[in-house]
Structure 1
């Protein structure tokens, strides 16, 4: 009985620390997002934003990106990973995978959570209505508003939520951290690609990361409440 009690106490302690850490991160990132949004609306970040964009271009010709030509091609490929087409395909495949594993509640939760986050992203872009950067030439086609970055926010919402949900059903301890790690790396790369391609200010991407992270943290809390403790833990 004593070893069982010890392990139970240890699990509760670890679980509680994870909850409090996630809550702290969500609170800090929420505060950062509102502060950043205020600075953006007041125009306080323009010098920083334009300075970074110009730093990533040829000093003699701002239309030319800095670095070798293969880097630009790589950034175009990376940025596609945060597009609606790729994300929709990915979410569909994951939902089908969850359904085949008979994780129907998790599949439904993932679908509703991600679609809700996408809807919020569109509403925020329309409400804030920040124009796209004009200081440098866009290296890919864009049509909507700039803040927050849709690619940064949607990739954070999608990849972080999927990473957390797949981690919940993974039974191998060492692999539970693989999905969230991949999600973070992809989210960071996609956001950076938007700045390099000149279609977003750095603060657009920071805002997208922040909003997406808060949504993903909220989804994680909701999953704990609605789906319960993952089996085997």
Structure 2
């Protein structure tokens, strides 16, 4: 979880410095510095809620509980993205770009996690066979 969140923040900084898109200058409700694309809040929200959902999924036994988890996570992700547009600090494309970048990062992190878990499981099975 820590690696996913830290990696998302690092990726966001790299992408912001690469694209260097200026923030909207109309209808801004708050003042904020830095570049606009991709939205750091959108990326962080997508990363945090996605990784928490991924980690909690297998511990929730009921279908209703799992649906509730996904719905709450989705609503929070979308609400945070919309709030950034409402505040006038991001274009809609900044939010969508943040979601896509975070989705790519989370998919990569989950693949590495699953690979590590499988490798560890196979190592334990091999050690148990050697002991018996």
Q: For this structure pair, what is the TM-score category when the shorter chain's length is used for normalisation?
A: 0.7 to 0.9
| 1:184 maps onto 2:74 in alignment | yes
| 1:211 maps onto 2:107 in alignment | no
Equivalent position SS for 2:58: helix
Distance of 1:142 and 1:191 partners within structure 2: 16
Distance of 1:219 and 1:178 partners within structure 2: 24
Over alpha carbons, which structure has the higher Rg?
A: 1
Q: What is the CA distance between 1:191 and its match in structure 2?
A: 0.6
Aligned residues: 118
Gaps of 5+ in 1: 1-109, 229-233
Q: Considering only aligned residues, what root-mean-square deviation do their CA atoms show, in Å? A: 1.7
Equivalent position SS for 1:170: coil
| 1:128 maps onto 2:16 in alignment | no
Normalised by the length of structure 2, the TM-score is 0.79
Normalised by the length of structure 1, the TM-score is 0.47
Q: 1:171 to 1:226 in 2, by over 3 A?
A: farther
- Output one character per residue of 1:66-116: Cα deviation in whole Å (capped at 9) or x when no partner: xxxxxxxxxxxxxxxxxxxxxxxxxxxxxxxxxxxxxxxxxxxx1112111
* Correspondence 1:215-226 to 2 at 5 A: 215-226=105-116
Distance of 2:71 and 2:43 partners within structure 1: 17
Gaps of 5+ in 2: 119-132
Match of 1:200 in 2: 90
Higher relative contact order structure (alpha carbons within 8 Å, sequence separation ≥ 6): 2
Distance of 1:208 and 1:193 partners within structure 2: 14
- Output one character per residue of 1:45-68: Cα deviation in whole Å (capped at 9) or x when no partner: xxxxxxxxxxxxxxxxxxxxxxxx
Q: What is the CA distance between 1:224 and its match in structure 2?
A: 2.2
Distance of 1:202 and 1:176 partners within structure 2: 29
Distance of 1:157 and 1:200 partners within structure 2: 18
Match of 2:10 in 1: 119
Distance of 2:9 and 2:27 partners within structure 1: 27
Q: What is the CA distance between 1:144 and its match in structure 2?
A: 1.2
- Output one character per residue of 1:121-164: Cα deviation in whole Å (capped at 9) or x when no partner: 11111121100112x13212311100001111111111111111
